[in-house]
Amino acid sequence: MKNVTNTIAAAAIATLLASTTASAEDLPFLGTWDCEVAIFTFTPTTYNNGSEDLPIEEVQEGSDGSYTLLFADDYFITLSGFTSDSMGWFSEASGDNFSCTRIVAQK
Q: Where are the domains positioned within the chain?
A: 24-103
Q: What percent of the chain has pLDDT over 90?
A: 72
Q: Per-residue pLDDT tens for 5-60?
A: 444 443 433 333 333 345 666 899 999 999 999 999 999 999 999 999 999 999 99
Q: Per-residue pLDDT tens for 64-107?
A: 999 999 999 999 999 999 999 999 999 999 999 999 999 987 66
Torsions phi, psi for 69 (to 5 deg): -105, 125
Global confidence as pTM:
0.76
pLDDT value for 9: 40
Q: Work out whether strand 97-103 and strand 67-70 pair parallel, antiparallel, or are unpaired.
A: unpaired
Neighbours of 101 (CB within 10 A): 13
pLDDT value for 107: 62
pLDDT value for 12: 38
pLDDT value for 26: 86
CB 82 within 8 A of CB 68: no
Burial class (CB in 10 A: 0-12, 13-18, 19+), 54: middle
